[in-house]
Amino acid sequence: MTESKAMILGASGAALTADEISLYRDERPWGFILFARNCVESQQIRDLVAAMRDAVGRPNAPVLIDQEGGRVQRIRPPMIERYPSAAGLGELYRQDREQGLRATWLMSRLHAFDLMKLGVNVDCLPVLDVPVEGASNVIGDRAYAFDPAVVAEMGKAAAEGLKAGGMLPVMKHMPGHGRGMADSHHELPVVTASRAELEAHDFIPFVAMKNELMAMSAHIVFTAIDENEPATISRKVIEEIIRGHIGFDGLLMSDDTSMNALKGTIGERAARIMGGGCDIVLHCNGVMEEMKAVVKETIPLAGDALRRARAVEAAFTEGDGADEAAIRAEFHGLLGAA
């Protein structure tokens, strides 16, 4: 069997087009990602996810979503309740550490209840970025706290809650987006902190969670390590920091290829992501011409990337069989008591 290609692709709308089905079938993306445009109602999402997996002939193909809570929650009421932001959970933690950690675990467990019913098996959570005063609001209240030790502790609770429900987490944005003074969706942030500062602050949550199976890169230049290339395409950052200092040996996917922090055509960006050492190219917007450019530059999974992808595929479970109503009641009770 020909291996899947090292890419995760989006779709343009609520149902696959004939061109999308043909592209997926011919080019075999390893996984898919959903956005709000793809999520109209529950049965439609289930049908869309099933069609994606059918196109690649893999019933357990990873289907990702950014369902953090707060302003980054792709599926919203009335389908799924509105959840608090990471900073909201962090506020509860500041009042009562145990309650904050429990609420973080419970919210992730609820994400798993919500998403597994729809066929979605990967949540791009937790956000392990540690913001600094004055940083861009692109992270902002998506971060749990300004203290890296607290971010690490809450991030672990969030990841464990997802895994208890049978889902897998994706840590983001490795090795840290918290110092970015610009929004990488629009321009390239440049971080000038020393390596010692980064190791003492930004990298700490990722080191603490290095044994998770998946992470997403940061489109940020760290001048102390590589003054020219953002982490996503920097072999130096990926080898020295992500694989070396942090010690992460899981599947590393790029942040979105179409974000304007990256320069060049979409095809050039995909080629540089592959060349820099990321395992997977992530392309989110579902624009067919862009996807065609990505697939031309993306190779089948092989070597360490294939090993890491297989470890992910082997880690999906049915979940712990917990009582959803009881979990939801406990979560609302903790939030109501805050």
Bridge partners for 9 per DSSP: 32, 283
**Closest-CA residue to 89 (of 3, 37, 158, 42):** 158
Listed in order, strand segments (DSSP E) in 269-322 are: 281-283
Catalytic option among 96, 183, 185, 249: 185
Catalytic option among 66, 114, 255, 279: 255
Q: Is 185 a catalytic residue?
A: yes
> 3-class SS at 320?
coil
Distance of CA 122 to the CA centre of its chain: 8
Q: Is 123 a catalytic residue?
A: no
What six digits make up the tokens of 322? 């917990």
What six digits make up the tokens of 317? 């479970």
C-alpha dist (Å) from residue 298 to 39, 189, 273: 27, 26, 9
Q: Where are the alpha helices (DSSP H) in 135-219?
A: 148-164, 195-200, 204-208
Distance of CA 269 to the CA centre of its chain: 19
Task: Using DSSP bridges, classify how beta strands 72-73 and 67-69 pair: parallel, antiparallel or unpaired.
Answer: antiparallel
**By the 8 A CB rule, do 252 and 245 touch?**
no
**By the 8 A CB rule, do 61 and 5 touch?**
no
What are the backbone dihedrals phi and psi of residue 215, each rounded to the nearest 5 degrees, phi first? -150, 160
Report, as residue numbers or ranges, the catalytic residues.
185, 255
